[in-house]
Amino acid sequence: MAENTTSDRNSPPPPIEVRDLTMAYDERVIIRDMNFVVPAGEIFIVMGGSGCGKSTLLRHLIGLMAPAQGWVFRDGVDFWALSGAEQDRMKRRSGILFQGGALWSAMTLAENIALPLREFTRYREKEIREICELKLSLVGLAGFGDYYPAAISGGMRKRASLARAMALDPEVLFFDEPSAGLDPVSARRLDELILALRESLGATVVVITHDLASIFAIGGMAIFLDSGSKSIAARGRPQELLDQGSNPALLDFLTRGERHTRLPAARADGSSKV
């Protein structure tokens, strides 16, 4: 199974390919039989309501959770067939922005960024300091290296976390609900930052989100996870999905359930106005 899996053997394998993946916590299945490919250098969106298994999917893609069934291929290689050391090496090629930032709270921002560099590269201390300063300024936090995560705002924490995710110049960047818990302006800035970084770094980006503004602003290929049917209910570009409008669950999601909020009221008092 540790073979190139794309049909065309000349093109490089996709950074992520998921085949027949079923995710479950113990006996409880979250989503079954997922199949998708994340093409290199593109933005890929995973959308779905709260609790439908987006973060769980992320944990599978970055190798924190083993599939109940099926495979996760990274660069055409079956991730879970690799040895521990190879898995670790593979993991280091992706950068992750966790839902809550997940900065190490006992360390300053600079130390947060420096930790992977110290552990996994042979750069000299001066070089590491320069890299930290550079990454921080890329996310608009130049000069904040000596602050502790608790001392800065939520939006800054997310950005600092992004700087840490980029510390090892990863080939794939994962974002788990980047705009959650941010005010609209900070959220939009973060979206723009993601787009700008992708363009300039050429990295593959996987964005997990339930934020409609982000979904339409970022664009890109998307899959929609539906907890009702426990499957990928739709795939395509968000705008096209909205226009075609085939799947009711997806339409509810993309239109904020406009059709449905009025329904129980209408049923109750026999008229459609409330």
Ligand X SMILES: Nc1ncnc2c1ncn2[C@@H]1O[C@H](COP(=O)(O)OP(=O)(O)O)[C@@H](O)[C@H]1O
Position 28 contacts other proteins (CB under 8 A): yes
Give the DSSP letter of residue 257.
T
Separation in Å, CA 221 to CA 8, 205, 263: 21, 11, 32
Pick between residue 5 and residue 55 the one whose CB is nearest to ligand X: 55
Give the DSSP letter of residue 26.
T
What pairs with residue 232 in β-bridges? 225
Residues 48-107 that bind Mg ion (CB under 5 A): 55
| Residue 200 identity (one-letter amino acid) | S
Which segment (3-11, 125-133, 208-216, 260-268) binds other proteins by CB under 8 A? 260-268
The pairing of beta strand 16-25 with beta strand 69-74? antiparallel
- Cβ neighbour number for residue 210 with a 10 Å cutoff: 19
Spatial neighbors of 58 by CB under 8 A, at least 6 apart, are: 46, 96, 174, 176, 206, 208
CA 196 to chain CA mean position, Å:
16
Position 272 contacts ligand X (CB under 6 A): no
Q: Which does 52 bind (CB under 5 to 8 A by kind): other proteins, ligand X, Mg ion, none?
A: ligand X
Residues 109-168 that bind other proteins (CB under 8 A): 115-116, 119-120, 164, 168
Position 51 contacts ligand X (CB under 6 A): yes
Binding site for ligand X (CB under 6 A): 25, 30, 48, 50-56
Binding site for other proteins (CB under 8 A): 26-28, 59, 62-64, 87-89, 91-92, 94, 96, 98-105, 115-116, 119-120, 164, 168, 264-265, 268-269, 274
Binding site for Mg ion (CB under 5 A): 55
